[in-house]
Every structure is written in C-alpha cells, then in structure tokens.
Structure 1
Amino acid sequence: MSSHDIVRAAWKAFAGHDADQISAVFTEDAEWLAPPGNATATALDRPSHMVGREMITRFLAEDFSRLFVRDVDVTFHGFHADGERVIVEETMTATLANGNHYANDYCLVFELRDGLIHRVREYMDTARGHRMVFGDAEM
C-alpha cells in the first residue's frame, strides 16, 4: 500500500471513531502535534502535543465527538505524497457542542514509519477556531 493509500485509509478509521481501527494505523510511539493553545485542545482540556498511540486513539475515538457533536464533514482539497510523508489539505465543518457552526481549513503533515503513522503535524487558523468555540462565531 502506498503512503497516500495509508493516510486515506487512516481518515476512514478516524471518521468511524472505532478505537481498534484507529489504533491500528499508528506506531506505538506516535505523536500528534497541533498549535499550542488551539481551541480543540483547550475546550477538551487535552494537550496540543499528544504522545503515544493510546492518547491519540482516545482523542479521536472518544474526545473529538464531545466538541464536534454532529454534521462533521471533511472536504479534501489535496493529498500530496513524497515518500514517507503525506500532506493533506482539507476543510472541516461541524456543529459544535455550543451550537455554533464550525468551519476551518487545515493542513496536516503525516510522517510514516514501517507503514504506520508515526507523526502528525497539524496546522489551522487558531484565532478562527477560538472565535467559533469560545466566542462570536460570526465571520
């Protein structure tokens, strides 16, 4: 399976929120790095730098749905693979627990090792996220 296919399959696992399927796509020592103080980590009282398959799996399988409660949709704008690195451009929309509409653009860099995700670096508009999660959602 190509690196591109591995990351596409991982997104399907993430969307299903099944802990076993999610866990199976990460190395034991995987890391997920998001900007410090981002709205999701702050609202869920989770670290922005998650270390370990178990912590990442718990976030994707359980915690994520506490903030993004319904109508979650991801529109992919590009998958760009170069060896063991895959860059994903996307827009995620959802209804938040506070009732606000969420819409933010993301760029994620997946680094693979031995056919599994070893590191994810996540980039998004943190100010926009904070306005939707904690303040006025008007844009």
Structure 2
Amino acid sequence: MARNLMSDDEWAFFEGFIRAARHPNGRKPTDHRLVLDGIFWVARTGAPWRDLPEEFGKWSSVYRQFRRWTLAGLWEDILDVLNHAKLAPDKLQMIDSTVIRAHHHAAGAKGGLRKRLLAVQEVGSRPKSISALTALASR
C-alpha cells in the first residue's frame, strides 16, 4: 500500500464534503477514501494521471471522479471551510502554474531569435569551396 495515506481524522474531515457532493444515481459508491488518496498522490507527486499506482484503482476512474468533484465545486468548498477556520496561515498561497505568464519581452525581440540562429549557422558552417574561403578572408 502507498505511504502517507490520509489518517482517520483527515478522512473524517473530507468525508462530509464528499457525501454532500455525491450525486444519487443508484450506483453503489466506490471507495471514496481510496479515490481521494489517489487524487492527493497525483497532486503531491505531480505525476501524470496515467502513472497513478494500481492500488488506487484505475487512473481513468480516479480522474473521472476528480473531474466530477471539480465540477460540483467540492475543492472550493473545502478551501473555503479551511480558510474560514483559520487552519492555514494567512501567508499561505497556492499558485497554479498554468496562469503564470512570462513578460512579452522574455520571448525575444522581433526577429531576434531568427537573426541569432542565422548567425550561429554562419559561424558554425565551414566554407565549401576555395572561393567562399577567399570571400570570408577578404571581409
């Protein structure tokens, strides 16, 4: 079994949110604790969903449940309760790297990369004939 699975106290905290977000469709509920452990494993390691260990279940099922909970607003509800309970320091912030953008100047000036590539090619290429060598020497 994977290490660092959530404790009973942690599960007791999350269980209420999960039961509230559950859609009553008549199906037998899956082991939501194991699914949540799988989601936390992916978040903690940064691994792709397909690399989720088999012990958490099929990666596609875990991802599908993660997506359902996301659309139901489960994660926002949990973060709101944690924020209002003051369980996390005020200085703690989460950064989503998908919205961090470099300044437009970081991409290079207009034509700058092309000019640099051409210069590198010119310096790195050998003359192919005596006349080309003579032309380079006369510069």
TM-score interval, smaller chain: under 0.3
TM-score relative to the length of structure 1: 0.22
Q: Which has the higher helix share?
A: 2
| Larger Rg belongs to | 2
Relative contact order higher in (CA < 8 Å, ≥ 6 apart): 1
TM-score relative to the length of structure 2: 0.22
